[in-house]
């Protein structure tokens, strides 16, 4: 039996590889299908490394979800740091709420399905709630910076979520989604 070398980045710790593999699995197979074995296979790690570095599967999943939200917050912070007074709120709002690389129905449907799974898991619910609050604060910062009333942040976020669900359920075009959302924001003098 030939031994094959694993191609791994030596600068990434085993713990980070476990978390990264788990996060990938969250979106590939969903929370209910994640196992120590699948994490080890996805991360190209010995099976025992998952239990050596974490006390439980729940702890691994929580670390992966937390990393996802930390990364998302960093992405949004970069957007806010790059804001210019000439920016249009609607485009900034879209960028804050949804990365451009997931602006298609299949990817966004997968993300929303996983967020619903996270919400259903009592041990992960607080992480999702914290990220939703952080997003609302980021929207408020953008509104205020661009000269709008920051108190509209929660309403804008609710409009976004409502139109995303309509877009996904009714399989409308991306342009339909943008048009409906923009019109709704304009009615509230936010664009």
- 103 and 157, same domain (yes or no): yes
Structure confidence by residue, pLDDT tens digits, 132-177:
999 999 999 999 999 999 999 999 999 999 999 898 898 888 899 9
- 41 and 81, same domain (yes or no): no
Q: What is the pLDDT of residue 39?
A: 97
Q: What is the pLDDT of residue 154?
A: 92
Q: What is the pLDDT of residue 171?
A: 86
Range of the domain at 156: 65-187
User: What are the contacts of 13-21 at 24+ separation with CB within 8 A?
Assistant: 14/45, 14/49, 14/53, 15/53, 15/54, 17/43, 17/44, 17/45, 18/43, 18/45, 18/49, 18/50, 18/53, 18/54, 18/60, 18/63, 19/60, 19/63, 19/64, 19/67, 20/64, 20/67, 21/45
Residue 15 lies in a domain: yes
Residue 135 lies in a domain: yes
pLDDT < 50: residue spans in the chain:
1-6
- 74 and 166, same domain (yes or no): yes
């Amino acid at each position: 039996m030939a031994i094959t070398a694993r191609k791994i980045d030596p600068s990434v710790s085993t713990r980070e590889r476990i978390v990264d593999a788990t996060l990938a699995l969250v979106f590939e197979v969903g929370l209910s299908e994640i196992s120590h074995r699948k994490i080890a296979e996805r991360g190209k790690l010995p099976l025992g490394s998952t239990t050596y570095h974490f006390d439980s599967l729940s702890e691994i999943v929580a670390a992966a979800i937390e990393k996802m939200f930390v990364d998302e917050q960093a992405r949004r912070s970069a957007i806010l740091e790059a804001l210019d007074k000439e920016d249009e709120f609607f485009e900034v709002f879209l960028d804050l709420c949804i990365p451009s690389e997931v602006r298609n129905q299949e990817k966004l449907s997968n993300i929303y399905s996983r967020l619903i799974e996270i919400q259903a898991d009592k041990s992960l619910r607080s992480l999702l709630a914290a990220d939703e609050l952080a997003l609302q604060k980021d929207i408020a910062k953008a509104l205020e910076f661009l000269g709008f009333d920051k108190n509209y942040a929660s309403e804008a976020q609710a409009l976004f979520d409502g139109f995303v669900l309509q877009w996904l359920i009714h399989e409308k075009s991306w342009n339909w989604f943008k048009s409906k959302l923009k019109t709704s924001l304009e009615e509230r003098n936010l664009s």
